[in-house]
């Protein structure tokens, strides 16, 4: 019924309307200031009687920039909403349900609590269900997407007695979306739709609000600060010039008030870096391209910069630090009863399902060229292939090998492939000539063709073993595999590896084997299986439990979900960079601690006390101890999705910038909550959609490279923000000083707009290509409340800004006073230009509306900022060390900017639009003389920055922040 369907599936969340997404992009103070400036400029132009392009140019350009930034924001947020939709893909489509006294296949959406459902191997569990009947000896479920456990979980009918049980403890519950990998059973539905474990993940994702990135917070602070500055400047300009409101040139008090209001608006336009949003977006977009080449696919532009201040990486264990592919790493067999040592041990390389790897003899310290020539390894291969129900196959679309069935059985399949086949001189190189599809199970199929399966004794919880009776050339052999504690007591003989002979299993040899088993299972925390065989009567066609006695022991195999080979160096690099790594997993504590040791990056840790916690242990701690535990924690185990999100929130409350890695559905809420969520490329679609970044190669080491890139991007971002700020300070100083001196308007708003958008924007963008510092990963992460420009740097850029403004004014005044093309006025006449019409002069009053002086001033402003751009190749290094050609993009942008500027000076339609005129060679010479000293001034300031004297300045000015600090993570 329709009413039932509403509660049996994950509800489809109503998406945010497009118009609301668009409006959200303009909910920013800096953006609102820009919009206000555009509107005011438009109405002032109309008030002056301007029409056509000149009236609309400035507001139109500003609005076009804002529209472009809004488009990027809308696209990013639209992608983020896909996570909730993709979560629905993990629901089963159909279910085998008991209705009207018989089982029938119905849509999973028709399930209601109380329904009896039957599941078997390969089924996706359609709802949360409680086990009521076991139809096979065991039922195993792969619930890694929900809990992150590296191995399948054996389910049982009995309820758990654990208090505060997490999902991993609920062994009598089948969870929606998980997959049955072994057995068959019936269960009663107890939860559907939003009332399932998968539904709780959806609800958690809905409740998670996106946090603003550190850079976004800094720009928001900058907008607030800028609003105050602009308001103060406008008021100050009015106060300073109240006495001039009644000047005859203004036509009355009201005319004077409007005139100086226009000057205030011009100051506002000068103070606002109109190109900043576009430059930030462009720089971050360039960063995403560089990261893509590192196999880090960025889904959210701001996350590029967030990486640079990451202090903690909460790394999911299964599939992130490990391969999430169970593989045999050790094999132990009896070499010979007459040799010392008695037991031989082999290491097996290869950590994936690919049939690629070598067998290394640890005892002889040699690699086996033909492993199948060793008798115990040969029979290990036979037993692994025959006593097995799993399948391994090659997926050409994903270009990888995939499993069907139990992970431990798949590991044995792969081991059989690595051991190879006997009797061929070209082994194992001949196998490499096969196609990947043929190679996937070539050796396994060989043994399955050689032996015909006659009878099978399935695995049971009581016996902890399984056996298969096989026939080959009138020889009946029973192969058995199982827990060593079950197989060894049933063995009376043992096979020798050197010649294939069988000898009595003496107490001494049994003790050696048991010792090796305890070493594998204890110190090395390997999952161990013992393999055995037995010759059976030729006429026997069925197996009984009594047949599983008097076995011949073949060998012991140890397997694990191995760490990725590159993880050790990656974690060491994180430590050097001051980034803490916390392993977060649904596995048990011992397994996680063993992985921590096996990685090899934590050899300095002898004791895990105080750094390793289960979720339940951590929740029981008092609040004060939780704070201490979070500061030292390195391992967090037995977690479910809510715990991962809780950990991220707790760390964020301690002002940590948290990166969370993961690949499963269970990781999605934490990925979305973290400052930067990092999903694995092979992970679930839900994890990818909830993340900010996807690692295409599933390589933890890629995170380190991405962090280094993020730090470099932030450093470059700081450089171009400082560059634009110093330029804008210069523009403000220029207009403000002109107003104080009482000289004509130095620059008109359209000229300021040209400088802010083009001549500032292009070099600022090119600064984003500055090379990464060699020691970028040797310093501690920056603090998120660190001001972009503060202390001594504020003083430096204030000095530069003041010089830029004064040089621009100097160019303007020079034309009136000294230029051969100018009127060569007395300075007092220039200061009293307003009263020109009331005085007798030997020059026309129209000279004060000549376009040449503002053109000289504008050109000085452009050229001085080009030199200032070169200053920003490095924060403190001299141009003699960091040469200009170290960033060819910057040189190219300077050349292009100057070409564009020359274009508007000498091309007629553009010169009229921007109120400029062509300059003579002598005027260009003066422009150069006024502009170049900015290089010398900044070199002196850089010298003090590198010198201890500069440190004293830093101490003295440390409280002066251009971008005010505020407490972050105030959640």
Hey, what's the torsion of the CAs at 275, 280, 284, 287, to 10 degrees?
Answer: 80
Query: Among candidates 104, 88, 84, which has minimal Cα distance to 96?
Result: 104
| Signed CA dihedral, 726, 869, 222, 773: sign only | negative
Beta bridge partners of 481: 466, 531
Q: How far apart are CA 661 and CA 400, in angstroms?
A: 22
Write down the pLDDT at residue 244.
67
The Cα 97–Cα 58 span in angstroms is 68
Lowest mean per-residue pLDDT among 212-221, 344-353, 457-466, 906-915: 212-221
Helix (H, G, I), strand (E, B) or coil at 706: helix
Most confident of 72-81, 351-360, 398-407, 926-935: 926-935
Torsion, Cα 239 245 246 250, to 10 degrees, reads 170
Mean pLDDT of the 454-462 span: 86
**Is the bond preceding residue 782 a cis peptide, omega within 30 degrees?**
no
> Is pLDDT larger for residue 689 or for residue 121?
121
Residue 503: which pLDDT band, with cuts at 50, 70 and 90? very high
- Cβ atoms of 701 and 567 within 8 Å: the answer is yes
Per-residue DSSP letter, 791: H
Kindly state the tokens that stand for 29. 């103070």
Calculate mean pLDDT across residues 709-725: 77
The pLDDT tens digits for 649-697 are 999 888 888 998 877 777 778 888 888 888 877 666 667 777 888 887 7
Bridge partners, residue 359, by sequence:
348
In this structure, the dihedral spanned by the alpha carbons of residues 536, 542, 547 and 552, taken in order and rounded to 10 degrees, is 40
**What is the reported pLDDT for 21?**
64
**Average pLDDT, integer, range 470-478:** 91
Query: Buried (b) or exposed (e) across 561-574, using 16+ Cβ within 10 A?
Result: bbbbeebbebbbbb
Q: How far apart are the C-alpha atoms of 563 and 698, rounded to whole Å?
A: 12
Q: CB within 8 A of 120, min separation 6: which ones?
A: 135, 180, 183, 184
Angstrom distance (rounded) from CA 279 to CA 285 = 10
Contact 145, 665 (CB under 8 A): yes
- What pLDDT does 530 receive? 96
Q: Say if residue 446's pLDDT is above 80.
A: yes
User: Given 128, 247, 316, 692, which residue is catalytic?
Assistant: 316
Q: Which residues of 805-825 are buried (b: 16+ CB within 10 A; e: fewer)?
A: bebbbbbbbbbbeebeebbeb
Tokens at 688, concatenated: 């990818």
Site of tokens 């199982």: 482
Element (H or E) spanning 714, and its range? Answer: helix 700-741
Q: Is 496 left (phi over 0), alpha (psi -120 to 50) or beta?
A: beta
* HSE-up (13 A, CA, CB side) for residue 726: 31
Cα radius of gyration (the chain): 37
Least confident stretch, 56-70, 128-142, 651-665, 846-860: 56-70
- On the CB side of 236, CA atoms within 13 Å amount to 15
Instruction: Give, in degrees to the nearest 5, the angle at Cα 844 between 839 and 847.
Output: 115
Give residue 960's pLDDT.
Answer: 38
User: What average pLDDT does range 5-31 have in this prediction?
Assistant: 57
Q: Mean pLDDT throughout 60-79?
A: 61
For strand 153-155 and strand 184-191, is the pairing parallel, antiparallel, or unpaired?
unpaired
pLDDT for 547 equals 92
Distance CA 658, CA 187 (A): 40
Which range, 432-436, 850-854, 893-897, has the best average confidence (pLDDT)?
Answer: 893-897
Rounded-to-integer distance, Cα 581 and Cα 584, Å: 9
Tell me the sheet residues that pair with 470: 453, 477
Question: For the ranges 403-417, 423-437, 513-527, 579-593, which has the lowest average pLDDT?
Answer: 423-437
Query: Is 316 an active-site residue?
Result: yes
Highest mean pLDDT among 33-37, 125-129, 690-694, 791-795: 125-129
Residue with tokens 């492993």: 371
Nearest to 137 by CA among 467, 386, 412: 467
How many angstroms from the chain centroid is the CA of residue 179?
28
Q: What pLDDT shows up at residue 117?
A: 92
pTM of the model: 0.65
Q: Could you tell me which of 358, 317, 329, 392 has the C-alpha nearest to residue 529?
A: 329
Nearest to 532, CA basis, from 571, 564, 486:
486
Does residue 924 sit in helix, strand or coil? helix
In DSSP terms, which residues pair with 628 in a beta bridge? none
Work out the pLDDT band at 443, boundaries 50, 70, 90: very high
How would you classify the pairing of strands 612-614 and 635-637?
parallel
Average pLDDT score over residue span 693-717: 79
Q: How many CB atoms within 10 Å of residue 767?
A: 27
Share of the chain above pLDDT 70, in %: 79
Q: Pull the structure tokens for residue 519.
A: 């070493």
Per DSSP, 435 falls in state -
Question: Residue range 376-404: average pLDDT?
Answer: 90
pLDDT reported for residue 347: 93
Strand order in the sheet with 139-142: 153-155, 139-142, 179-182
* Model pLDDT for residues 624-644, shown as the tens digit of each residue: 899 899 988 989 988 877 788
């Amino acid at each position: 019924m329709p009413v039932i369907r509403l509660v049996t599936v994950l509800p489809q969340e109503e998406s945010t309307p497009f118009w609301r997404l668009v409006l959200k992009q303009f909910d920013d103070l800096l953006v609102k200031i820009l919009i206000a400036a555009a509107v005011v400029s438009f109405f002032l132009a109309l008030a002056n009687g301007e029409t056509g392009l000149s009236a609309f140019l400035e507001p139109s350009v500003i609005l076009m920039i804002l529209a472009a930034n809004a488009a990027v924001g809308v696209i990013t947020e639209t992608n983020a909403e896909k996570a909730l939709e993709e979560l629905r893909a993990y629901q089963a489509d159909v279910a085998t349900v008991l209705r009207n006294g018989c089982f029938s296949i119905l849509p999973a959406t028709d399930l209601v609590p109380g329904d009896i459902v039957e599941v078997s191997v390969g089924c996706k569990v359609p709802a949360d269900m409680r086990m009521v009947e076991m139809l096979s000896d065991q039922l195993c479920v792969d619930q890694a997407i929900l809990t992150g456990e590296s191995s399948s979980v054996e389910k049982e009918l009995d309820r758990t007695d654990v208090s505060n049980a997490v999902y991993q403890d609920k062994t009598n519950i089948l969870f929606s979306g998980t997959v049955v990998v072994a057995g068959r059973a019936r269960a009663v539905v107890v939860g559907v739709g939003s009332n399932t474990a998968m539904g709780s993940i959806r609800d958690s994702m809905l409740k998670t609000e996106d946090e603003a990135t550190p850079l976004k917070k800094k720009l928001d602070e900058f907008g607030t600060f800028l609003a105050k500055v602009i308001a103060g400047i406008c008021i100050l300009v009015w106060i300073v010039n109240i006495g001039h409101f009644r000047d005859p040139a203004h036509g009355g008090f009201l005319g004077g008030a409007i005139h100086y209001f226009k000057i205030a608006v011009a100051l506002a336009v000068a103070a606002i870096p109109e190109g900043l949003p576009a430059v930030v977006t462009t720089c971050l977009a360039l960063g995403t391209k560089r990261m893509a080449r590192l196999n880090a696919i960025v889904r959210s532009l701001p996350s590029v910069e967030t990486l640079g201040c990451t202090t903690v990486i909460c790394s999911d264990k299964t599939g992130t630090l490990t391969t999430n592919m169970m593989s045999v790493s050790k094999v132990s067999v009896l070499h010979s009863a007459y040799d010392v040592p008695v037991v031989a041990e082999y290491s097996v390389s290869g950590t994936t399902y690919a049939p690629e790897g070598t067998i290394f003899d640890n005892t002889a310290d040699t690699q086996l060229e033909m492993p199948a020539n060793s008798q115990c390894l040969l029979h290990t291969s036979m037993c692994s292939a025959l006593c097995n129900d799993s399948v391994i196959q090659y997926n050409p679309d994903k270009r990888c090998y995939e499993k069907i069935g139990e992970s431990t059985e798949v590991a044995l399949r792969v081991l059989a492939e690595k051991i190879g086949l006997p009797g061929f001189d070209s082994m194992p190189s001949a196998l490499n000539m096969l196609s990947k599809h043929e190679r996937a199970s070539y050796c396994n199929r060989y043994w399955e063709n050689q032996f015909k399966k006659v009878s099978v004794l399935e695995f049971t919880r009581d016996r902890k073993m399984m056996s298969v009776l096989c026939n080959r050339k009138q020889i009946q052999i029973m192969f058995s595999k199982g827990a060593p504690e079950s197989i060894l007591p049933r063995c009376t003989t043992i096979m020798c590896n050197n010649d294939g002979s069988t000898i009595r299993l003496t107490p001494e040899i049994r003790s050696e084997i048991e010792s090796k088993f305890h070493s594998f299972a204890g110190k090395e925390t390997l999952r161990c299986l013992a393999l055995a065989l037995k010759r059976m009567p030729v006429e026997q066609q069925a197996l009984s439990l009594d047949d599983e006695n008097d076995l011949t022991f073949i060998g012991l195999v140890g397997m694990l979900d191995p760490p990725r080979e590159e993880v050790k160096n990656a974690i060491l690099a994180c430590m050097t960079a001051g980034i803490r790594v916390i392993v977060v997993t649904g596995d048990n504590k011992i397994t996680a601690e063993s992985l921590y040791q096996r990685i090899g990056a934590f050899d300095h840790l002898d004791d895990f006390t105080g750094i390793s916690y289960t979720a339940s242990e951590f929740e029981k701690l008092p609040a004060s101890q939780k704070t201490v535990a979070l500061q030292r924690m390195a391992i967090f185990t037995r977690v479910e999705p809510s715990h991962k999100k809780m950990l991220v929130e707790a760390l964020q409350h301690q002002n940590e910038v948290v990166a969370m890695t993961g690949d499963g559905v269970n990781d999605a809420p934490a990925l979305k909550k973290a400052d930067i969520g990092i999903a694995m490329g092979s992970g679930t679609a839900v994890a990818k959609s909830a993340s900010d970044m996807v690692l295409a190669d599933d390589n933890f080491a890629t995170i380190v490279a991405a962090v280094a890139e993020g730090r470099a991007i932030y450093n470059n971002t700081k450089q171009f923000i400082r560059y634009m700020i110093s330029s804008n300070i210069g523009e403000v100083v220029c207009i403000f000083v002109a107003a104080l001196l009482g000289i004509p308007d130095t620059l008109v708003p359209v000229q300021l707009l040209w400088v802010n958008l083009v001549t500032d924007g292009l070099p600022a963008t090119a600064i984003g290509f500055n090379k990464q510092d060699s020691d970028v990963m040797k310093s501690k992460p920056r603090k998120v409340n660190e001001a972009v420009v503060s202390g001594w740097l504020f003083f430096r850029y204030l000095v530069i800004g003041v010089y830029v403004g004064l040089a621009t004014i100097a160019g303007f005044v020079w034309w009136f006073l000294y230029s051969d093309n100018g009127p060569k006025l007395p300075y007092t006449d220039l200061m009293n230009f307003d009263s020109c019409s009331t005085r007798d002069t030997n020059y026309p009053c129209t000279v004060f509306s000549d376009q040449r002086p503002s053109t000289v001033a504008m050109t000085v402003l452009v050229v001085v900022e080009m030199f200032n751009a070169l200053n920003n190749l490095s924060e403190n290094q001299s141009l003699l060390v960091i040469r200009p050609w170290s960033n060819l993009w910057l040189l190219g942008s300077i050349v292009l900017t100057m070409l564009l500027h020359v274009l508007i000076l000498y091309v007629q339609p553009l010169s009229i639009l921007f109120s400029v005129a062509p300059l003579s060679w002598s005027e260009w010479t003066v422009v150069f003389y006024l502009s170049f000293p900015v290089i010398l001034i900044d070199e002196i300031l850089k010298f003090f920055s590198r010198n201890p004297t500069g440190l004293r300045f830093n101490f003295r000015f440390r409280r002066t922040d251009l971008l005010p600090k505020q407490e972050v993570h105030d959640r």
